[in-house]
Structure 1
Amino acid sequence: MRLNQNVSLLGKKVVLVPYTAEHVPRYHEWMKSEELQRLTASEPLTLEQEYAMQRSWREDADKCTFIVLDAAKWQAQPGTTEESCMAGDVNLFLTDLGDPSLGEIEVMIAEPSCRGKGFGTEAALIMMSYGVTKLGLTKFEAKIGQGNEPSIRMFQKLHFEQVAVSSVFQEVTLRLTMSEPERQWLLEQTSHVQEQPYRDGS
């Protein structure tokens, strides 16, 4: 999505930056992990395919993606490369043509040392706030593998409720509708987030 390609979002624990070609090699290394392939229902890609995927994520109007950086690492030393601070990614898919106010959200904290620190929670909150304020979303869905208890618990803490279980796909669907109180709660949770211009990357 071109809308977010020049935006970075600074939280307390994480910084969200657009997915650029610079991030692809590290991302590609992550996705060789069988555990991550299983948790994200992904097939391994070649490096060339990964670069093509990155370009499509930037161009496609129905996908919004940010790379999640470890804020402490990123801010510790000026000149630190983003690739060395990468923790995971967060995505919104706007794929329901009949309902443009619905976004499907995915969060992956791929770096083992970054798990269990609240990175996924803050990344999800920032992304949801971006979806509500910039994309006009009022409903969110998350589809999570049945065995991925930490992710299911995280989304339940973010007020999502389970609405369906698919035994075929072995996944749980959780949903959150943004009532006015939910919207206020979300904006309060993300009131510390700073939006900054992002250097123009490819």
Structure 2
Amino acid sequence: MYINKDTIITGKNVVLIPYKKDHVLKYHEWMKSEELQKLTASEPLSLEEEYDMQKSWLMDENKCTFIILDRGKYEETKNEIDAMIGDTNLFFANPDDRICAEAEIMIAEPWARGRKCGWEAMLLMFLYGIKYLGVKEFIVKISYINDISIRMFQNMGFSEVSRSDVFQEITMSKIVDKLWIEWIDSSTAGFEIIQKEANILLM
């Protein structure tokens, strides 16, 4: 999505940055993992296809994506590639009416799991979607075998709405309301959203 091409979101333990061409090679290596393919219901792509996908994410108004960096590692090394740990995405069925968004989160680096990085990154993405894209409802589709993600979204207030034995997925939903926004705000206290090129602090 072009709107977030220069946006940086800084949380306590993670930093969300736009998905750029420089990130594709490491992302491609991640997605060779059969475990990640199963957990994310993804098909392996060629490196050329991954580069094409990155371009699509940048220009497609139906999609919003951020690469997740480990903040501590990034501040230590100043190297985005070394600090990459995953990604988070929003999909819109209708770009002209962004009421409902399908959300995704992936922590690809094993060393970054179990540290609440996915939790924080997802909450930051929710806030961005609510405050800057106008999202009123989030849905998630999670593999039956992904117990960790199922529990995480349940703890975030999501409720199961359907199951698909064909796709082996659970669909869960959360309607945005004032109390939920206040809870996310309190859970991500001190986060910042910055437009990189203009160096404008938005929040």
Aligned to 1:42: 42
After superposition, the Cα gap between the structure-2 partners of 1:98 and 1:61, relative to the gap in structure 1 and judged at 3 Å, is: closer
Aligned to 2:110: 112
8 Å CA contact 1:7, 1:197 repeated in 2: yes
8 Å CA contact 2:62, 2:94 repeated in 1: no
8 Å CA contact 2:11, 2:192 repeated in 1: yes
Measured against aligned partners, the alpha-carbon deviations of 1:141-190 in whole angstroms (never above 9, x if no partner) come to 01000110000011111111111111111000111001221122222222
TM-score, normalization by structure 1 = 0.94
After superposition, the Cα gap between the structure-2 partners of 1:81 and 1:160, relative to the gap in structure 1 and judged at 3 Å, is: same
Distance 1:5 1:145 in 2: 30
Distance 2:33 2:80 in 1: 21
Unaligned runs of 5+ in 1: none
8 Å CA contact 1:129, 1:190 repeated in 2: no
Aligned to 1:95: 93
Unaligned runs of 5+ in 2: 199-203
Is it true that 1:24 corresponds to 2:24 in the alignment?
A: yes
Distance 1:114 1:195 in 2: 23
Distance 2:103 2:15 in 1: 17
Aligned to 2:149: 151
Aligned to 2:4: 4
Matches within 5 A, 1:164-179: 164-179=162-177
Aligned to 1:64: 64
8 Å CA contact 1:17, 1:198 repeated in 2: no
3-state SS in 2 of match to 1:175: strand
Between 117-126 and 38-47, report the one with greater CA deviation: 38-47
Residue identity opposite 2:2 in structure 1: R
Distance 1:66 1:58 in 2: 10
Measured against aligned partners, the alpha-carbon deviations of 1:62-95 in whole angstroms (never above 9, x if no partner) come to 1000000000100123xx3201100000000011
1:96, CA displacement in angstroms? 4.8
How much identity, in percent, do the aligned residues show? 46
Aligned to 1:82: 80
3-state SS in 2 of match to 1:27: helix
1:52, CA displacement in angstroms? 0.4
Q: CA RMSD in A?
A: 1.5
Distance 1:99 1:152 in 2: 27
8 Å CA contact 2:61, 2:95 repeated in 1: no
